[in-house]
Structure 1
Amino acid sequence: MTISRLFARITERETELADQAAALRTEIDQLTARLHGIERDLEHVRITRQTAAELADGLAPDAVDQAGPVLPEHPLYPQIIAVFHTRQQPLRARDLCEALDLGLLPKDIGGIRSKLKRLVARGILAEAQPGLFTHTRP
């Protein structure tokens, strides 16, 4: 290898590394801008939470509680509550599976039972007897 070819190769490698460094700097600038945007949004959410908490402190306890417990995120929960509103009687997990046209396999009944227990824990339903669930609100 001649000296001129060696220096040409070194120059080529230097150019490659400089291009990679420039690309990384651009990427870092983009990520930094995104990070600042997310941090700004996070600060806004924190301020909103603090403001809401301060406003809620000024409300009467009844006004805060009137919204009631919030249903968990799953499309079956509103359907379950609707069945309790229409039936107006205590129900078992199997009854709900039938009312919702779900399967009657043990896994289906168990899945509904766990959802019912979650609603009991949130104060939306009550368990009158083991496995027998009722709506707590008229």
Structure 2
Amino acid sequence: MDAQVTPLLARIDARERELGTAADQLRTQIDELAARLRELDEEIGNLAVTRKTLLALPPTAPDPADPPPVLPAHPAYQQILGAFADAAGPMRARDLCERLDLAVMPKNIESTRHKLKRLVSLGVLAEREPGLFARRRP
């Protein structure tokens, strides 16, 4: 074999070993990431089932010993409750803005959403799914 070719072949062999080692390391990382991804997908699926189960549960009746919630004094809360009394079903903050003749603008929607969340925390309304509000069932 030619004296010039032998060193080149040795360098090619060394480079092939380096690339093979790097490829093996990447395959190991891919396998680890794929396993982690399967775990996360399974957990996401479990959470979806849990959410569906919780939403299917009948609402609990309020304890008669509990005092009724004290509503905020601001008249907007009375307007919101009036709109829900006439509503056929659940509403989003945007729907409520339209029903209350508020300009459908981000600040009005966010303000309404905040009030709806407060009424949920007081036990007056229920949030059936994220962003969808309805009267609490008796």
TM-score (norm 1): 0.51
Distance 2:85 2:70 in 1: 17
**Is the counterpart of residue 96 in structure 1 residue 96 in structure 2?**
yes
Question: Which structure ranks higher in relative contact order (CA pairs < 8 Å, sequence separation ≥ 6)?
Answer: 2
Code of the aligned partner of 2:93: A
8 A Cα contact 1:124 1:137, kept in partner: no
- In 2: Cα distance, 1:68 partner to 1:96 partner: 24
**Is 1:133 the counterpart of 2:138 in the alignment?**
no
Structure 1: 4+ residue segments shifted above 2 A: none
CA distance in 2, matches of 1:135, 1:111: 19
Q: Aligned to 1:126, what secondary structure does the other structure show? A: strand
C-alpha distance after superposition, 1:6-32 (max 9, x if no partner): xxxxxxxxxxxxxxxxxxxxxxxxxxx
**Residue correspondences, number:** 76
Deviations 1:57-87 (A, max 9, x none): xxxx72x43x521211211101101111111
Q: Give 5+ residue unaligned stretches, structure 2.
A: 1-62
* Structure 1: segments with no counterpart, 5+ residues: 1-60
* Structure in which a larger fraction of residues adopt helix: 1
What TM-score, normalized to structure 2?
0.51
Does structure 2 retain, via aligned residues, the 8 Å contact 1:124–1:135?
yes
Contact 1:94 1:109 in 2 (8 A): yes
- RMSD (Å), alpha carbons: 1.5
| SS of residue paired to 2:134 | strand
Work out whether residues 83 and 96 of structure 1, in 8 Å CA contact, stay in contact via their aligned partners in 2.
yes
